[in-house]
Structure formats: C-alpha cells, structure tokens
C-alpha cells in the first residue's frame, strides 16, 4: 500500500493500477507471457496466468472470457507482437459488440509497449496506436506520465469496452507524484501540460517530455508554446485541442510514428474540419513525426529519425516566424 | 464413460431439429435467390447430424463458438428461428438487430457466442469461454465448432497447446466436411485429419461418423463427460459432407466437386438415414414423419412472417451498440 501523494515511477504505477483493480474486482485477471512477479505472488497462477507465446490465442481468450463475464487484462508485451493477433484484435475484439447488436460488453484491456528510442530497431519500435484507432471499436490510451498511467489504466480496467493501453518504454523509469485514493483519469479528457499563447503543441505520450523541453527552448526565443496532452486518442478530446488552437492560431502535432495516416494526421484533420478553428489558424498545421522510414537500429540513425525537442522547436519557430513574415 | 440411451421422445426431437435446420437453410436459399434477403448464405445442409448430436449433450450454461456456416449450430443450441430469420432479413428484431446478417448470428443468453466470418477465429474465443468456465468452477464447458479449413490455421495449434497445458474444459469439435471452400482437405492438410494433431499435445481424440446423429451424440457424450470431469480438452472429428455449395448470393456458386462424390454423400444424407432408422425401429411411422415435416414447415412460415413484418432499422440505428460507453 502506497502512502498518500507518493512519488512513483511510471512502471510501478502501472503495476499498482493492475494490483489495485484486481483486489477490487475478483473478475479481473491478467495474462502475459512473462507476468510481473509481484502480481503472480499476490494473486497466484489462477488470476495471473503465464501464457505460451501465443498472441492470437491469448487475445481471443480474453474475448471469450470477457463475453463470459470476466474482465481480462492481456499484456501483449511489445505492440509489434500483437500483430500476430491482428485478426483477434481487429476482426473480433473491435467488431463483435457492434456486430452482435450490443448483446454483451467486452471489458478487456490490451496493454502494449513500444520501444521507440531504445535502440530496438524496426520490429520493436513502432507505436501502433493509429492502426488500432483505425480498427474502429477499440478505445486507445497513451499516458505521458506515471500519474496518468495509473489513473488511465484503472479507468481502462473498469471501462465496459476493449481498450488498447499504450506504454512508452522511455517513460518507464520516469516518476511523478500520484494522489492517494482512487486517482481515476477519465477517458476523453486532454491535459494542458504547459500554458502558452503562441503555438499549440499536441504531443502523444513520451513526446510530451520532448515537447516540454522544446517549449523551454522556445521561451528563450520569445515564443510561448502551449503543450497539450490528449491522454486518450479514442475518445479524443477534440474540444480541448480546438479551443487551444483557437487561442494560439498555430498547431504542431508531435507523434513518434510513421507520418502517413498517423494519429498526428487525424488530430490535424479534426482541427481543420472545424470552421471556427480553421479561421483562427494563422499558419498551416504541421506534423512532427518519425521521418518516413522504419525505425533503424544505429543510435545515430534512430536519433535522427525520431522526433525530439530540437526538431519540435525548429518547426515551432518556422510556424511562428512564417506568420511574422506574412504580417510584414 | 457411457452415455445414457436416447429415449424415443429424445430421438424424435433430434430428428425434428435436424429437419428444422435443413428446411431453415433451404428456405434461406429460396429467399436469397428470390432477392427477399440480401448478402451471403452459407448453408449447413448435409451436416445437421453434427450440430444436433453435439448440442443435445449441452446445457444452456455451456457455451459454443461457431463458424461462418452457423445456422445449424444456432438452432441446435436453442436459438429462435424467428429471430434468426429476422437477422437474415436485416431487421430490428434479428438477434443482432440487423448488424450481423446470416454469417454472424449470436445469442449470448443461450451460450451461442457467435458465428464468425474469419476461419479459425472461434478457436481462441472458445478457449476463453472454457477458461471462464474453469475460473467460474460451475461445471460448464465450451464446445468449439470449426472446420477442416481452420485446421490449416495457426490458431488451432495455439489453442490445442494452451488448452492442454491448462486442462481447459473444451471440446474441439472439427466438422471435417472434406472441402475448405473449393480445396479438398487433402490438398490443404498434411495430416490425415485434424484429429491427428491431438496426440502431439497429449489430447484425447476420436473420429466419428458425422452423418449419424446418434453416433455423434454418443461420441460427444463421452467427450463432454470427460471434459466436465476435469480431464482436459478433447478433440472430436466428425467426418461429414457439405451437400451444397460453399456460399450463395443470388446465383448459386458453380459446383466444383465431382458428381460421383456428390451422389455418394447423397446416399448418406444424415436426415434420410435417421428417418429410415426411426421408421425401421418403429419410433415413428410415415404419418408421424409427415406430421413433423408439416410442423417444421409451419414454424418456418411463422419465422418468415415474423421476419418480414419486423421493422427495417432506422438510419440512426447504425450508431447504436458501437461502444458501451461514449467514445467520441
């Protein structure tokens, strides 16, 4: 049991969230190829199940168990491994509530980690959240800090719908203060990480850290950036994004994913489709994504292709400067 | 383990249920050819003895998963032909409110976890239902209907493996009808039949004549008793034949199988065989058989009347049932 308002790492917060929800609800159980030892020790092999490396089986078993009254959590390990189970995730988990006329809820959490930025190469370094958002029928969480990791995961476990819960490896050791009690974070509620007036930087998960670093650098250039963290991608808090953009007149979306059909593209679309926000724009919105290649291993190359504070700041300055020059 | 002998009443019920499945599908094909209903129909004609012989061993708490060829499994598990027919009509009183059509009928209330459009997809879902039964400890089991075509899928091996490891209460019920759409089983499967895989996983298996409803009933009875007793999964392979084409839209698909093969299986028609046996042993006479035929026909007349009178969904119904809680 943690003390009130304790400081906790992102990884520990995730573990706490699962353990607390398993204590709270006997219908919650956990499946993973390598379940965390503390969970196994507390709940035993019946509720913390060590699975064979069989992603399709474990994904489909979660669906069958959820349709039979349980609330499974499946840790896919890396999101790239889940692609072995793509049918079960996309054709089954995402579809069957709707396709069966809403007869049953399927309260499942699929946890998925991505290793971007950890020298893990192309088959372990892709975010995958745009793929699953496009699957239509899955909610998507992508927390940027320990407190949200805990609050969103607890909310995901209680949610009646299937959720894919994304964990950024680079956030694992980061720590933040976590409120005592039941710090649930509701889905569909963005958080302003830094208030600003000149440009809105929407950043997903770990990219919030890079965006905040960029914002500090921009301040030295007299640019006051707002950093907005959507926290969940499905549902997406479009109202908060539009409201921010209407104030700043400029939008950059930071997403460490391949740019084509990325979630950054979706966020920009959600802004430009709205007449009032479109009118407020003083510069074209910009994606700051992974450069358009798979993520390479070599540290020199990976650092070059992934978005970071420097590139975010450069794009922000160009967006703001462009407006300044246009005004001249 | 022995199965209690079927009473004359029970045998008459099995016969009527087989006939109801046969006539339901014939009616569905007529309606499809006439353009009364839309989409695609996968007839179960020729395999009725399997669904009926299997499900006669199950209670409402037991759960099944089905295939794209699911009408027979639905009826055998106790689904209401009126609501099934309304689903084929795409109407609001269908089991899935018109979201599913012929290929995806589900009724979770009676433990029918859905017909499935993806070959092999029901396997992990059934494993999950079996896991739920095991965790519930209520003595219920799962039965997974799958075809010889699904035996070519990796999911079968994942599921045989995990079900054996965890001693899940599941009967893997392969309906080997000899043809994976237009490919003979022997051209798609290196093993003689799917049951050949079972020994490698330490799973008990049996091959049964799938065109003999009583043989299926007895073999399933043995399998179900063993599974309920906690002995772990069983593979049961029912050798049968799909007497019609794989899938029908308005025009029937070309027949790819040789006439002598079709004739051979025509002579083994499971309904003709069972009726002849019942008449020979005095369980029914010709007059009683005709009565059953009339009562089935009347039941289907009612189903068509109910379905065609059911309201067409309104456009706004397209949005109903997608997520259980708000996602936009």
- pLDDT, tens digit, 9 for 90 and up, residues B12-53: 999 999 999 999 999 999 999 999 999 999 999 999 999 999
* pTM of the predicted model as reported, rounded to 2 decimal places: 0.96
- The residue ranges of every structural domain in chain B are 8-308
**Which chain A residues contact residue B323 at CB under 8 A?**
97, 137, 139, 161
**Cα A221 to Cα A318: distance, rounded to the nearest angstrom:** 12
CA distance B174 to A18: 37
Question: Does an H or E element contain A159, and which?
Answer: none
Chain A residues with CB-CB distance to B165 below 8 A: 52
CATH class of A7-178: alpha beta
Q: What is the mean pLDDT of chain A?
A: 96
Q: How many CB atoms lie within 10 A of CB A174?
A: 17
Q: What is the pLDDT of residue B192?
A: 87
Q: What does the pLDDT read at residue A170?
A: 98
The per-residue pLDDT for B74 is: 98
Residue B233 has a pLDDT of 98
Residue A262's pLDDT band (cuts 50, 70, 90): very high
Q: C-alpha distances in angstroms, B154 versus A229, A273, B159, B194? A: 40, 43, 9, 12
Residues 147-186 of B with CB under 8 A from A: 154-155, 158-159, 161-162, 165-166
Question: Is A124 one of the catalytic residues?
Answer: yes
Distance of CA B197 to the CA centre of its chain: 22
**Cβ neighbours of B325 in A, within 8 Å:** 159-161
Q: To the nearest whole percent, how much of chain B has pLDDT over 70?
A: 98
In this prediction, residue A181 has a pLDDT band, given cuts at 50, 70 and 90, of confident
A94-103, A179-188, B172-181, B210-219: range with lowest mean pLDDT: A179-188
ipTM score = 0.96
A249 vs A286: CA distance, rounded Å: 12
pLDDT at A58 over 70: yes
Examine the pLDDT at A326 and tell me if it is beyond 70: no
pLDDT tier for residue A1 given thresholds of 50, 70 and 90: very low
Res. B3: pLDDT tops 60: no
What is the share, in percent, of chain A residues with pLDDT greater than 90?
A: 94
pLDDT computed for residue A46 by the predictor: 97
What pLDDT digit, counting tens, does each position of B248-274 carry? 999 999 999 999 999 999 999 999 999
Residue linked to tokens 């091996």: B157
Which residues have CB under 8 Å from B223's CB, separation 6+?
B171, B204, B206, B234, B236
Average pLDDT over residues A249-265: 98
**Could you tell me the pLDDT band of residue A6, with boundaries at 50, 70 and 90?**
confident
Contact A63 B125 (CB under 8 A): yes
Top pLDDT among B2 and A230 is at A230
Is the pLDDT at A11 greater than 70? The verdict is yes
Nearest CA of chain B to the CA of A175: how many Å? 29
* CA distances for B165 relative to A275, B123, B152, angstroms: 58, 16, 21
Q: Is pLDDT of A276 > 80? A: yes
Q: Which of A21, A55, A169, A266 is catalytic?
A: A55
C-alpha B60/C-alpha B44 separation (Å) is: 22
Q: Are A192 and A226 in contact (CB under 8 A)?
A: yes
Find which of A57, A96, A156, A162 to mutate to test the B interface (most B CBs within 10 Å of its CB). Answer: A57
- Cα separation of B302 and A65, whole Å? 35
Tens digit of each residue's pLDDT (9 = 90 or more) over B42-86: 999 999 999 999 999 999 999 999 999 999 999 999 999 999 999
Dihedral through CA B24, CA B25, CA B27, CA B32, nearest 10? 140
At residue B327, the pLDDT reads: 64
Return the pLDDT at B328. 55
Partners of A61 on chain B (C-beta within 8 Å) are 124-125, 127-128, 131, 162
Separation CA A315–CA B13 (nearest Å): 74
**Å from A212 to nearest chain B CA?**
27
Please answer whether residues A257 and A264 qualify as being in contact, where contact means their C-beta atoms are separated by less than 8 angstroms: yes
A191-327 to CATH, choices 3.30.230.10, 3.40.50.150, 3.40.50.920, 1.10.3720.10:
3.40.50.920
Average pLDDT on A200-217 reads 98
Farthest CA pair distance, chain A: 69
Q: Cis omega before residue A235 (within 30°)? A: yes
Cα separation, A239 vs B302, in Å, equals 51
Cβ of B121 under 8 Å from any chain A Cβ? yes
Alpha-carbon distance B1 to B204, whole Å? 13
Any idea which fold B8-308 has?
A: Rossmann fold (3.40.50)
Burial, A130: exposed, middle or buried (Cβ in 10 Å; 0-12, 13-18, 19+)?
A: buried
Percentage of chain A lying above the pLDDT 70 cut: 97
CB B104 within 8 A of CB B117: yes
């Amino acid at each position: 049991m943690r003390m009130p308002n304790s400081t906790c790492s992102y990884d520990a917060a995730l573990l706490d969230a699962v353990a607390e929800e398993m204590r709270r609800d006997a219908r919650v159980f956990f499946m993973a190829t390598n379940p965390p030892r503390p969970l196994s020790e507390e709940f035993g092999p019946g509720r913390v199940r060590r699975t064979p490396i069989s992603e399709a089986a474990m994904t489909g078993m979660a669906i069958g168990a959820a349709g039979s009254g349980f609330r499974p959590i499946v840790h896919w390990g890396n999101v790239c491994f889940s692609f072995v189970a793509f049918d079960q995730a996309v054709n089954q988990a995402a579809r069957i509530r709707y396709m069966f006329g809403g007869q049953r809820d399927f309260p499942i959490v699929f946890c998925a980690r991505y290793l971007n930025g950890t020298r893990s190469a192309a088959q372990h370094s892709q975010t995958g959240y745009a793929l699953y958002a496009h699957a239509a029928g899955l909610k998507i969480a992508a927390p940027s800090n320990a407190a949200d990791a805990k609050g969103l995961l607890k909310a995901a476990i209680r949610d009646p719908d299937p959720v894919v819960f994304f964990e950024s490896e680079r956030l694992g050791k980061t720590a933040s203060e976590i409120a005592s009690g039941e710090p649930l974070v509701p889905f569909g509620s963005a958080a302003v990480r830094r208030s600003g007036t000149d440009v809105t930087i929407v950043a997903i998960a770990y990219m919030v850290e890079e965006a905040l670093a960029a914002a500090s650098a921009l301040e030295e250039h007299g640019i006051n950036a707002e950093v907005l963290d959507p926290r969940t991608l499905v549902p997406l808090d479009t109202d908060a994004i539009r409201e921010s953009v209407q104030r700043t007149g400029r939008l950059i979306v930071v997403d460490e994913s391949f740019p084509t059909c990325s979630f950054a593209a979706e966020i920009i679309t959600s802004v430009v489709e709205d007449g009032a926000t479109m009118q407020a724009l003083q510069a074209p919105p910009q994606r700051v994504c992974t450069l358009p290649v798979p993520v390479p291993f070599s540290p020199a190359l990976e650092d070059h292709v992934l978005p970071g504070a420097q590139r975010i700041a450069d794009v922000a300055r160009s967006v703001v400067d462009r407006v300044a020059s246009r005004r001249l | 383990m022995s199965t209690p002998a079927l009473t004359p009443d029970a045998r008459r019920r099995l016969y009527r249920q087989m006939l109801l499945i046969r006539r339901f599908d014939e009616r569905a094909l007529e309606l499809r050819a006439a353009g009364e209903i839309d989409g695609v129909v996968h007839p179960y004609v020729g395999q009725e003895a399997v669904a009926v012989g299997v499900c006669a061993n199950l209670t409402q708490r037991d759960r099944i998963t089905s295939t794209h060829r699911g009408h027979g499994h639905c009826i055998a598990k106790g689904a209401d032909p009126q609501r099934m027919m309304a689903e084929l009509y795409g109407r609001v009183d269908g089991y899935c409110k018109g979201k599913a059509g012929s290929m995806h009928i589900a009724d979770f209330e009676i433990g029918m976890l859905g017909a499935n459009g993806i070959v092999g997809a029901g396997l992990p879902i059934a494993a999950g239902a079996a896991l739920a039964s095991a965790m519930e400890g209520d003595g219920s089991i799962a039965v997974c209907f799958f075809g010889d075509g699904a035996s070519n899928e990796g999911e079968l091996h994942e599921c045989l493996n995990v079900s054996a490891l965890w001693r899940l209460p599941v009967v893997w019920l392969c309906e080997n009808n000899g043809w994976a759409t237009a490919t003979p089983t022997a051209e798609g499967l290196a093993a003689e039949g799917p049951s050949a895989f079972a020994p490698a996983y330490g799973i008990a298996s049996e091959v049964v004549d799938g065109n003999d409803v009583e043989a299926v009933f007895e073999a399933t009875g043995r399998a179900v008793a063993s599974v309920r007793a906690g002995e772990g999964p069983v593979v049961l392979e029912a050798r049968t034949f799909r007497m019609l084409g794989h899938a029908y839209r308005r025009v029937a698909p070309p027949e790819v199988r040789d006439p002598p093969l079709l004739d051979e299986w025509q002579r083994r028609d499971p309904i003709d065989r069972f009726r002849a046996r019942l008449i020979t042993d005095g369980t029914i006479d010709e007059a009683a058989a005709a009565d059953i035929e009339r009562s089935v026909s009347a039941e289907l007349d009612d189903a068509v009347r109910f379905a065609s009178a059911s309201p067409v969904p309104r456009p706004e119904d397209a949005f109903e049932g997608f997520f259980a809680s708000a996602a936009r």
